[in-house]
Amino acid sequence: MKVQLAQVAGFCMGVRRAMDMALDAARTASKPVYTFGPLIHNPSAIELLERTGVHVLSEIPQKGKGTVIIRAHGIPPETKKRLADAGFFLVDATCPRVVKVQMLARHYSRKGYSCILVGDKGHPEVMGILGYAGEKGILVSCDEDLKTISPAGRYVILAQTTQDRERFSRWSKEIMKRYPGGRVFDTICDSTRRRQDEAARLAKASDLVVVVGGRSSANTKRLAEIVEEKGTACMAVETAEDLDRTRLSRYRKIGVTAGASTPNWVITTVVREIESIRSAKDPLFRQAVYRILRLFHEANLWTALAGAALALAASIMAPGIVSALSAGSIAFCSIFSMHTINRLMDMEHGSYNDPLRARFLKTHKVLFALLSTTALLLAHVLAWKVGNGSFLLLLALATSAVFYRVHILPAGLSIRSLRDLPGSKPLFISVTWGAVAVLVPSREAFPLPDADLVGLFMLASLAVFARSLFMEILDAQGDLIAGWETLTLLVGEKKTLRIIRMASVALAAIALVLTATGIIRHEALAFLLFAAWMYGLSHRMGHKRIRQNLRLEFLVEASFLVLPAAAFLIAILRT
């Protein structure tokens, strides 16, 4: 079964901003913290906010305390005043694009214009905009409304930001034809247009399209309508539990899109669940390959193999490193155990970044606790055979990795663990991988490593740094929920991709300088291929987002598998 995810799906800018503000308020604002009405129209997101201490306020009390977050849809100005008068501190998370429509409604209504709003009757955004228009507001939500409206004098036509563009255009022309002289403001959000265009494209390219989102979400409903208007089968679901697996198995090409209020972790789970369904038209071999790839992903085997490949490449590039088998085994066992133990220690965080992997590890947690402990012990035995220095270095690395998330310092401090250091995750992972792949399996690293090992350690760490930033981009939503100040959250996704490209260029430049000066062997030029791969992948992500964890992890980790092959080929050409 071929599954294609829409390039524009999930949280739009306004919803992401509102969620970010709500999660930040849960940590920093005066308690209790409320949203006035549901922040967004998605049960999974509302349930998450409840768990973080952000509750829904339905009625305005005479007196209140704490913080109230204005939802992304906005509210009427009278309601906002009542909340402030009741004693609440207000955090306005109204989408900036909705604010634009509100300000247009207020501006023109004050100048005596009638404000005709094309929108869905009873929708929170519509009620808020009409509140700014006051008595001058006129709602058009169906064809029947067109027959009854009669704007007095001058008027403007506005649109709910999530309205269908074709409908808005048709109704606006009809109104202008009957009542010439009005002004039309196309206030439909561009994200809505792109989302709808993508749904139409998916409908043409798919046998069935799954639309993921809350049942009360207007923009999600419209996506389903667009798919059905194109004559394509459609399945609307809120979560993966709503999927009709029997029905899906009858199709070969499945498209997936999602409303603007659908969290990434819900979309990811739906996509992966669909991918796991065996289509009646799919060959058994293809399904078997997919299941193997999925097992490698969920069991952290891809990550461990990438670390082993890095160590194997290092053993070809540096003569001081022990046999390729020993180096690869140390790296595989160490990286598998460290990553698995950390994921087992923080299952809730993982459930937002990669729900299916978290569920897999939770189901088999006893087995993987045993496997990771055994692998860690085996890695130390192999390191001890290399030398005492190697054993002690690996012990220090493993201890710091296992306790990376553990609170060491007392409560009340902003930094209580290594994890709390802003932007520390990719740096920590890159140094750990670099040391495990280069320094631990080398007899010449202690007490002081030679220049070639230091250079190779720098190259390996820089390569892993680029790799870790890719993973951090995918984990951004879960990191935000957990309150981690990661580099991606500090600087944003676009700047993170730019940093990956800068790291790739730096990696290539350092490899060229170190080999040209004879500090390291020419086999290290294999890092040029790795750098080109990472640069190209980051460039592609900047234009066409790779959303699935499984696919991105495979593409990133595969770059490490190429390293030893390239190094070996260079070694053969030099002989």
Q: What is the pLDDT of residue 544?
A: 62
340: nearest Cα among 318, 382, 307, 315: 307
pLDDT of residue 416: 58
Output the tens digit of pLDDT for each of the chain's 575 residues. Answer: 788 888 888 888 888 889 889 988 888 888 999 999 888 888 888 888 888 899 999 899 989 899 999 999 999 999 999 999 999 999 999 999 999 999 999 999 999 999 999 999 989 999 999 999 999 999 999 988 888 888 878 999 999 998 888 889 999 999 999 898 899 999 998 888 888 888 999 999 999 999 999 888 888 888 999 999 999 999 999 988 999 999 998 888 999 999 888 888 888 888 888 887 876 666 777 777 878 888 888 899 999 999 999 999 999 998 888 889 999 999 999 999 999 998 888 777 777 777 778 889 999 999 999 999 999 999 999 999 999 999 999 999 988 877 776 666 665 555 656 666 777 888 999 999 999 999 999 987 777 788 899 999 999 999 999 999 988 887 776 676 666 677 887 888 889 999 999 999 999 999 999 999 999 999 999 999 999 999 999 888 776 655 555 777 788 888 999 999 999 999 998 87
Question: Of 47, 59, 78, 125, which one is the catalytic site residue?
Answer: 125
**pLDDT at position 212, please?**
94
Which residues lie across from 36 on neighbouring strands? 57
Helices (H), 346-450: 347-353, 355-363, 365-386, 388-402, 424-434
Catalytic residue status for 125: yes
* Residue-range domains of the chain with CATH: 98-188 (3.40.1010.20), 191-292 (3.40.1010.20), 293-574 (1.10.600)
Q: Which H/E stretch holds residue 116?
A: strand 114-118
- Amino acid 548: pLDDT: 53
Structure confidence at residue 358 (pLDDT): 86
Alpha-carbon gap, residue 501 to 545, rounded angstroms: 16
Q: Which of 565, 485, 495 is nearest to 529 (CA)?
A: 565
Please report which helix (H) or strand (E) contains residue 271, including its range: helix 264-275
* Single-letter residue type at 177: K
Own/partner contacts of 383-387, CB < 8 Å, gap of 24 or more, are 383/330, 383/440, 383/441, 385/326, 386/322, 386/326, 386/330, 386/440, 386/441, 386/442, 386/443, 387/443, 387/446
What is d(CA 367, CA 373) in angstroms, rounded to the nearest whole number? 10
Q: What are 134's two structure tokens?
A: 């006051």
Question: Residue 134 class from Cβ within 10 Å (0-12 exposed, 13-18 middle, 19+ buried)?
Answer: middle
Q: How distant is the alpha carbon of residue 59 from its chain centre? A: 34
* Total Cβ atoms within 10 A of residue 474: 21
d(CA 353, CA 272): 13
Q: Distance from CA of residue 162 to its chain's centroid?
A: 23
**Could you tell me if 241 and 287 are in contact, meaning their C-beta atoms sit under 8 angstroms apart?**
no
Q: How many other CB atoms are there within 10 angstroms of residue 473's CB atom?
A: 20
Please check whether residue 223 is in contact with residue 28, taking contact to mean a CB–CB distance below 8 angstroms: no
| Residue tagged 């080999």 (tokens) | 515
- Residue found under tokens 């939503």: 477
